[in-house]
């Protein structure tokens, strides 16, 4: 067996006495694949800061890669990549011919740091590159990185697949070499199989901003150089295995790179990173809350106020005014001699614990001195959800203590009985709320066009008829966009053979006439202790109309919730008026939700989907205390990969960005982004506003305890 020079470097990394370190070796740099590391085309064992979310765009040799990377845990990294290869023709059993000028490829990566850096031990990571795509970038590796002093880092590793395609020193079995036509299926038969090669590199941090890199690459770029296929796919000439580069940290968020690659090409890269745990507006810009008003000693003994004519009406008005100034709407109230129960709707604070703290301060300043017990309930669409009960004496005594001290004293309730007898505040119902705003709707990662978008104006409104009854609607007008653009004629893996329940979405985007986005009437209510219900009827979403019913079981102190939803829907006309098409179906799911702790939340849905297929969706999200959420989902049904079409099954990444994080002041507005590798018909669900779980759990103890630190803010 011949031993290459990079393998010797790998051994030196492991054996040489090094400086003392004891962390997981983090970096702000990214490589050309958008993954953390100070090298260029090769991986390292470095990680980003825990929770970091980054986007990287790189280009060289006729290929542009756009990569979204998330540091899932301090030692686990996940990436989704979208690559454009100019005038490339897939070969070696690939996906077919492409009449357009570029070939687009999607790939997913995972990397886990199995060993952190020690006094004499390098950090060691194991990685899978393109482990469930077409296999174009498929490769696996074991890599070690060690820091020498405070500026130099040395990396060495062994790779398979693309990373074992040049200067190999051995082989571990036989590895399939053809591209996977439809992609989307984990290619486990290739992992750590076939020829293997040793790669290595050095990175030197010359200053806080400037770094230099050199590496020995074992990627032969067989596909891009036309090996074994039409030589018209020759994108560049690979003259040397050596790459050299310079990196520059332009700011905390932006990192740049420029490289001389393979003896023939210039490569460039820009990476933008943010960490959900760090706000761009430190401390926020909200006004300080009113101070708690402390009662005079012994004043709580006089209960005679309750007999004063009109006292309760006066108090109700004063409480409503005080809460309104804090962005809270008083929907119900009941006052007794020594206790007050209120039901509030939070329209400002995205952190429910902060809303409860503001409400408690208002009650301390308004309620008569003998009122000792506060019960503050939260309303969702007029339905009582969770409640918090506290002693006024604790509010007075602990205002300047850590919030955890108050958390130990309060009692959470989920039963409607805690708010029994609260009287609806006059003038709350009926009530119209409306909004006129621009909108942008994106369509990304279509195989015929990487980015499409529509922009226009949307008028939306909610008419709150009575407690639990809401009439909701929205009308939009498109000003410009190309979501209705026809396919460019790409051949190969098509959209599948299922009913067109989502893949005909472009027809709903045609024209600039006003369209009805949704028009529904919904009823929300409590079905018993720990039970919640919803029924929604009307034009549920742009593509479907019908009726949707939901039941949720969620105890106030439990991490677990169970739900069931049944829908009967018909497909709407393409013009999104009041007409319907000749397709209707009954769908439904049983759901389980679980809070694993440490910021991780899981969801399992099992049932029937819009195309009549049966299966399950598994989702896992990492949630941050400020409302950020980054997660992924996978749906697998009884539809075959061939019937599903390109992508093989539905999967995607979902990100929720709270606007309060971005602007530094409280708001309940959030931006939800779902990145699907492809929009297909298998595993599709109807979209219904007002599903119960997210709203209900926000008012329960497990969720509120995470953010209780803002109770006094």
- In order, the DSSP letters of 604-641 are EEEEE-TTS-EEEEEEEEEE-TTS-EEEEEEEEES--H
Sheet of 411-413, strand order:
411-413, 383-391, 373-380, 339-346, 328-335, 423-424
Q: How far is Cα 355 from Cα 352, in angstroms, rounded to an integer?
A: 5
Calculate the alpha carbon distances from 20 to 10, 23, 119, 121, 147 in Å: 19, 10, 4, 9, 9
Q: Which residue did the predictor score with more confidence, 344 or 498?
A: 344
pLDDT of residue 229: 43
Q: Check pLDDT > 90 for residue 3.
A: no
Query: Average pLDDT, stretch 225-237?
Result: 62
- The answer to whether position 91 is within a domain reads yes
pLDDT for 7:
43
C-alpha dihedral (171, 173, 177, 183), degrees to nearest 10: -120
Number of helices (H) and strands (E), helices first, in the chain? 10, 32
Longest distance between any two alpha carbons in the chain, whole Å? 99
**Run of H or E residues at 221:** none
pLDDT exceeds 60 at position 635: yes
CATH number, residue 398: 3.30.300
Q: Lowest-pLDDT range, 21-35, 298-312, 508-522?
A: 298-312
pTM, 2 dp = 0.89
Compute how many other C-beta atoms are within 10 angstroms of the C-beta atom of residue 154: 21
Residue 713 has pLDDT above 80, yes or no: yes
Which residue is listed with tokens 């804090």?
A: 326
Query: Phi-psi region for residue 227, left (φ > 0), alpha (ψ -120 to 50) or beta?
Result: beta
Mean pLDDT over 386-399 rounds to: 95
Closest C-alpha among 691, 709, 295 to residue 522? 691
Distance between CA 629 and CA 30 in Å, rounded?
22
Mean pLDDT across 512-533: 95
Helix (H) or strand (E) holding 505, with range, is helix 505-508
How far, in Å, CA of 458 to CA of 519, rounded?
Answer: 13
Tell me the C-alpha to C-alpha distance, in Å, between residue 26 and each of 74, 81, 140, 275, 634: 9, 21, 21, 14, 29
Do 229 and 149 share a structural domain? yes
Which CATH number is 67's domain given? 2.40.160.40
Average pLDDT, integer, range 178-207: 87
* Token pair 């933008």 in the structure block, residue: 272
3-state secondary structure of 5: helix
C-beta of residue 477 within 8 angstroms of C-beta of residue 455? no
Q: What is the residue-wise DSSP string for 270-299?
A: EEEEE-TTS-SSTT--PPPPPPPPPPPTTG
Instruction: Reduce the DSSP state of residue 12 to 3 states and report it.
Output: helix
78 and 198 share a domain? yes
- H/E stretch holding 340: strand 339-346
Is 169 in the same domain as 47? yes
Count how many domains the chain has: 2
The yes-or-no verdict on residue 15 having pLDDT over 80 is no
Same domain? For 107 and 241 the reply is yes
Residue 613 falls within a domain, yes or no? no
97/220 same-domain check: yes
Tell me, yes or no, whether 698 lies in a domain: no
Is residue 308 located within the same domain as residue 413?
yes
Q: How far apart are CA 346 and CA 361, in angstroms?
A: 15
Rounded Cα–Cα distance for residues 703 and 210 (Å): 43
Domain boundary among 399, 428, 457: 428
Q: Name the residue with higher pLDDT: 638 or 2.
A: 638
Q: How confident is the model at residue 579 (pLDDT cuts 50, 70, 90)?
A: very high
CA distance 169 to 4: 7
Domain assignment present for 31: yes
Confidence grade of residue 336 (pLDDT, cut at 50, 70, 90):
confident
Which residues are CB-contacts of 50 (< 8 A; sequence separation ≥ 6)? 71, 73, 74, 277
For the CA atoms of 390, 392, 398, 403, the dihedral, rounded to the nearest 10 degrees, stands at 30
Nearest Cα to 493, choosing from 678, 350, 660? 678
Q: What is the CA radius of gyration of the chain?
A: 29
- Tokens, residue 489: 């004629």
Average pLDDT of the residues of the chain: 88
Does the pLDDT of residue 232 top 90, yes or no? no
Alpha-carbon span 305 to 295, nearest angstrom? 15
Query: For 445-496, how does the pLDDT look when each residue is reduced to its tens digit (9 = 90+)?
Result: 665 666 788 899 999 999 999 999 999 999 999 999 888 887 654 444 445 6
Residue 331 lies in a domain: yes
When mean pLDDT is compared across 82-86, 495-499, 610-614, the lowest value belongs to: 495-499
Phi and psi dihedrals of 210, rounded to 5? -105, 135
Q: Which residue's entry shows tokens 């090669």?
A: 197
Q: How confident is the model at residue 306 (pLDDT cuts 50, 70, 90)?
A: low
Alpha carbons 628 and 143: distance in angstroms, whole number: 32
Residue 356 has pLDDT above 70, yes or no: yes
Task: Give the angle 118-124-128 at the CA atoms, nearest 5°.
Answer: 160
152 & 32 share domain? yes
Tokens found for residue 410: 């309060």
CA atoms within 13 A on the CB side of 50: 11
Classify 555 as helix, strand or coil: coil
Handedness of CA 234, 235, 237, 238 (dihedral sign): negative
Asked if the model's pLDDT at residue 288 lies above 90, the reply is: no
At which residue do the structure tokens 């405070």 appear? 150
Res. 691: pLDDT tops 60: yes
CA pair distance 366, 342, nearest whole angstrom: 13
Q: Does residue 311 belong to any structural domain of this protein?
A: yes
The pLDDT value given to residue 445 = 65
Residue 99 has pLDDT above 50, yes or no: no
Would you say residue 19 lies in a domain? yes
The predicted pLDDT at position 235 comes to 81
Same-domain check for residues 270 and 303: no
Given 428, 454, 479, which residue is the final one in a domain?
Answer: 428
- Give helix 352-366 / helix 311-325 axis angle, nearest 10°: 140
Q: Cα(95)–Cα(491) distance, rounded to whole angstroms? A: 8
Regarding whether 224 and 77 lie in a shared domain, the answer is yes
Q: Which residues pair with 212 in a beta bridge?
A: 204, 246
Q: What's the confidence (pLDDT) of residue 417?
A: 62
Lowest-pLDDT range, 170-174, 207-211, 224-228, 383-387?
Answer: 224-228
Altogether, the residues listed in the chain come to a count of 713
357-377 residue pLDDT tens: 999 999 999 999 999 999 999
Residue 203 structural domain: 5-274
Is the pLDDT assigned to residue 512 strictly greater than 60?
A: yes
More confident position, 94 or 603: 603
Q: Are residues 306 and 257 in the same domain?
A: no
Alpha carbons 4 and 218: distance in angstroms, whole number:
11
Cα end-to-end span (Å), the chain: 67
The predicted pLDDT at position 442 comes to 80
Sign for the pseudo-dihedral over CA of 431, 432, 435, 440:
positive
For residue 466, CA distances in Å to 383, 429, 431, 524, 699 come to: 10, 5, 9, 10, 21
Q: Tokens 């009530």 map to which residue?
A: 431
Same domain, 156 and 12: yes
Q: Stretch 101-110: mean pLDDT, rounded?
A: 86
Domain boundary among 377, 412, 428: 428
Give yes or no: residues 85 and 155 share one domain.
Answer: yes
Strands 373-380 and 339-346: parallel
Task: Determine, yes or no, domain membership for 625.
Answer: no
Tell me the H-state helices in 212-338: 311-325
């Amino acid at each position: 067996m011949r031993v290459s020079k990079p393998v010797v470097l790998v051994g030196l990394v492991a054996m040489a006495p090094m400086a003392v370190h004891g962390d997981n070796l983090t970096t702000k740099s990214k490589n050309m694949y958008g993954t953390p590391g100070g090298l260029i085309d090769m991986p390292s064992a470095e990680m980003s800061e825990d929770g970091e979310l980054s986007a990287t765009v790189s280009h060289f040799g006729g290929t542009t890669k756009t990569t979204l990377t998330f540091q899932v845990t301090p030692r686990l990294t996940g990436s989704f990549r979208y690559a454009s290869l100019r005038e490339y023709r897939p070969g070696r059993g690939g996906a077919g011919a492409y009449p357009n000028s570029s070939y687009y490829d999607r790939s997913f990566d995972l990397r886990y740091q199995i060993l952190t850096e020690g006094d004499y031990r390098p950090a060691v990571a194991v990685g899978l590159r393109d482990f469930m795509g077409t296999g174009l970038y498929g490769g696996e590796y074991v890599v070690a990185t060690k820091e020498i002093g405070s500026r130099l880092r040395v990396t060495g590793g062994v790779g398979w697949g693309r990373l074992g395609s040049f200067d190999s020193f051995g082989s571990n079995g036989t590895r399939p070499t053809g591209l996977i036509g439809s992609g989307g299926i984990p290619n486990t038969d290739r992992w750590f199989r076939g020829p293997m090669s040793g790669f290595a590199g050095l990175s030197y941090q010359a200053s806080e901003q400037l770094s230099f890199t050199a590496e020995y690459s074992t990627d032969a770029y067989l596909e891009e150089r036309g090996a074994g296929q039409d030589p018209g796919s020759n994108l560049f000439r690979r003259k040397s295995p050596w790459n050299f580069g310079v990196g520059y940290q332009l700011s905390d968020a932006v990192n740049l790179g420029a490289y001389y690659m393979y003896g023939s090409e210039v490569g460039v890269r820009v990476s933008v990173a943010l960490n959900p745990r760090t706000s761009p507006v430190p401390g926020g810009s909200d006004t300080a809350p009113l101070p708690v008003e402390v009662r005079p000693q012994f004043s709580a003994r006089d209960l005679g106020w309750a007999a004063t004519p009109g006292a309760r009406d006066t108090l109700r008005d004063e409480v409503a005014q005080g809460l309104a100034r804090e962005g809270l709407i008083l929907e119900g109230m009941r006052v007794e001699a020594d206790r007050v129960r209120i039901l509030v709707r939070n329209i400002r604070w995205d952190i429910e614990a902060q809303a409860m703290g503001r409400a408690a301060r208002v009650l301390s300043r308004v309620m008569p001195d003998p009122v000792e017990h506060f019960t503050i309930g939260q309303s969702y669409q007029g339905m009582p959800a969770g409640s918090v009960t506290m002693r006024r004496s604790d509010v007075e005594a602990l205002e300047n203590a850590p919030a955890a001290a108050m958390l130990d004293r309060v009692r959470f309730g989920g039963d409607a009985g805690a708010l029994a007898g609260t009287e609806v505040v006059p003038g709350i119902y009926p009530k119209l709320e409306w909004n006129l705003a621009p909108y942008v709707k994106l369509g990304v990662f279509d195989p015929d066009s990487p980015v499409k978008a529509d922009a226009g104006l949307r008028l939306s409104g909610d008419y709150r008829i009575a407690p639990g009854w809401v009439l909701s609607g929205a009308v939009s007008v498109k000003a410009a966009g190309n979501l209705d653009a026809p396919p460019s004629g790409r051949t190969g893996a098509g959209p599948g053979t299922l009913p067109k329940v989502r893949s005909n979405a472009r027809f709903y985007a045609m024209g600039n006439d006003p369209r009805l986005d949704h028009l529904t009437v919904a009823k929300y209510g409590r079905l018993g202790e720990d039970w919640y219900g919803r029924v929604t009827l009307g034009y549920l979403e742009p593509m479907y109309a019908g009726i949707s019913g939901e039941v949720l079981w969620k105890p106030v102190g439990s991490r677990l919730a169970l739900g069931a939803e049944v829908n009967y829907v018909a497909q709407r006309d393409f013009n999104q008026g009041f007409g319907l098409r000749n397709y209707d179906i009954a769908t439904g799911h049983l759901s389980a939700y679980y809070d694993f702790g440490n910021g991780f939340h899981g969801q399992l849905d099992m049932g029937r989907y819009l195309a009549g297929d049966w299966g399950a969706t598994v989702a896992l999200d990492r949630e941050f205390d400020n409302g950020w959420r980054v997660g992924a989902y996978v749906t697998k049904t009884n539809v075959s990969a061939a019937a599903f079409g390109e992508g093989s099954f539905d999967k995607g990444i979902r990100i929720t960005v709270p606007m309060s994080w971005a602007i530094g002041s409280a708001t309940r507005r959030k931006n939800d982004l779902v990145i699907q590798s492809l929009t297909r018909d298998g595993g599709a669900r109807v979209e219904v506003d007002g599903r119960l779980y997210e709203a209900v759990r926000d008012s329960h103890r497990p969720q509120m305890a995470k953010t209780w630190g803002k109770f006094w803010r």
